[in-house]
Amino acid sequence: MNFPLLNATCTSAEWGTPYYDVTIKFDAQSIRARGLLMSSHKITVSVIKADVGSYPGHGTVHPKQMEVARDSLEVAKKQGLLIDYFVTHAGDDLELIMTHRRGENDSKIHELAWSTFKEVTEKVSKPLKLYGAGQDLLAEAFSGNVKGMGPGVAEMEFEERRSDPLLVFMADKTEPGAWNLPLFRIFADPFNTAGLIIDPALHGGFTFEILDVMEDQSVRIRCPEETYDLLALIGTSARYVISKIYRNDGMPAAAASTSRLSLIAGRYVGKDDPVCIVRAQHGLPAVGEVLEPFAFPHLVAGWMRGSHHGPLMPVSIADTQNRVTRFDGPPRVVGAGFQISDGRLVGPADMFGDPAFDRARQVANEITDYMRRHGPFMPHRLGPEEMEYTTLPEVLEKLKTRFKKEQVAATAA
Ligand code: F6R
Ligand code: MG
Ligand code: MG
């Protein structure tokens, strides 16, 4: 049966949220229906971060910076752009955790993050003369998407489940490849994740999207079938970084930031200090399986002057642990745990603020002592390929003219 349509409009309210207005003629009456037109009931979690200044030196974010960021996101929440937000920091990186229904790479959400970082820089970092005020804002003006402009971005759009636990990991003094080892262990290593063996919902495995940051191209690798291919790539963590993970039936499971600041700026501008979102439970790895790899403080690149290998130390979000000190480090990761409830962020729980991670911190401190004793020698200091993106080449340049060709010894007549 066909009903004559009297009128139908789809338009945009403030912030561009679409709504519909339809009138249908039914017998002698007409029925009018109006409402929000969501592309779906999907929720998007956007974690966008930047170092816009810190104290002392590259140590930690100032409480005033967090306050200004919160005020900015509160306005966006009141206007309906955001459903919810949480502002925190990892060492000297300001972290905006936001939920909304606008999907990934949305220009309004990215613009909100960009203008928030700008505002924090102008209102707090510059007046307080914080160190490196606005350092990660590499572009003059916002142009549609913060990717490639300095800030790091991890985003995931998904259908909210009946109960949806979500963990956000935020690292300081390291690079996106730091997630390769823990993400592999969470989603592909049965010695870490018991569910890969025991739970039929996980047994089908996961697909990893890998970005080649040098060539700007990506590839999807399906596990467990292609586990060795995956490891062949992601073992080179400075170049091949995990950007997304999906359960093999398509369910989004994890997303990580992949930007390499030095590749954007063409010079050393600090490490990228990546973020990562992982969903957990009920057909995905359990929260404890997600946290387990961080009990091993594996070696990552970053630390002092972005030029050294050191252990990734899991620390509490609480201020005493969440600021770098020794040799500007060691590199560290904080974890915030939430339940998503109709897009609201219930939490956070301080995932590494637990005595169960004391031993990992102790091991990380032992590794710190051991690595530091190498001073300027590799493998503590990064290899020549990675050092190309630091200030070392300027030093080597000075010595260039002093090199003399070795004379080949005259052979005896
Ligand atoms: C590493 C980092 C710090 C600085 C170091 C020197 O990502 O941010 O280790 O590289 O403190 O900083 P500048 O050159 O600003 O004195
Ligand atoms: Mg800094
Ligand atoms: Mg940092």
**Those residues with Cβ within 8 angstroms of residue 283's Cβ, 6 or more apart along the chain or in another chain:** 199, 201, 202, 247, 251
Q: What is the pLDDT of residue 14?
A: 37
**Strand pairing of 240-247 and 252-256?**
antiparallel
**Strand pairing of 252-256 and 42-50?**
unpaired
Q: Ligand 3 mean position to 43 CA, how many Å?
A: 28
Say how many C-beta atoms besides its own lie within 10 A of residue 75's C-beta: 13
Ligand 1 atom closest to the Cα of residue 328 is: 9
What does pLDDT average to in each consecutive run of 10 residues of the chain (413 residues)? 56 44 68 57 96 97 98 98 98 98 97 98 98 94 90 97 97 97 98 97 97 92 98 96 97 92 66 94 98 98 96 94 96 98 98 98 98 98 89 89 84 56
Half-sphere exposure of 149 (CA within 13 A, CB side): 22
Determine which residue's CA is closest to atom 4 belonging to ligand 1.
305
Burial of 136 (0-12, 13-18, 19+ CB in 10 A): buried
Q: What is the pLDDT of residue 190?
A: 98
Q: What is the pLDDT of residue 12?
A: 45
Q: What is the pLDDT of residue 5?
A: 60
CA distance 149 to 131: 20
Handedness of CA 12, 13, 17, 22 (dihedral sign): negative
Ligand 1 atom closest to the Cα of residue 304 is: 9
Q: Ligand 2 mean position to 388 CA, how many Å?
A: 21
CA distance 158 to 135: 32
Q: What is the pLDDT of residue 393?
A: 87
| 286, two tokens | 């359990």
> Is the pTM value of this prediction over 0.85?
yes
Burial of 412 (0-12, 13-18, 19+ CB in 10 A): exposed
Determine which residue's CA is closest to atom 16 belonging to ligand 1.
57
- H or E stretch covering 72: helix 63-78
Ligand 1 atom closest to the Cα of residue 172 is: 7
To test the pocket of ligand 1, the residue of 58, 389, 395 to mutate (highest count of ligand atoms within 8 Å of its CB) is 58
Q: What is the pLDDT of residue 72?
A: 98
**Those residues with Cβ within 8 angstroms of residue 400's Cβ, 6 or more apart along the chain or in another chain:** none
The catalytic position among 49, 173, 244, 271 is 271
The catalytic position among 93, 268, 273, 389 is 268
To test the pocket of ligand 1, the residue of 304, 307, 389 to mutate (highest count of ligand atoms within 8 Å of its CB) is 304
**Pocket residues for ligand 1 (CB within 6 Å)?**
57-58, 173, 270-271, 304-306, 328
Task: Name the DSSP class of 54.
Answer: B
Contact between 258 and 176 under an 8 Å Cβ cutoff? The reply is: yes
Ligand 1 atom closest to the Cα of residue 305 is: 10
Q: Ligand 1 mean position to 154 CA, how many Å?
A: 24
| 316, two tokens | 């509490």
Q: What is the pLDDT of residue 39?
A: 47
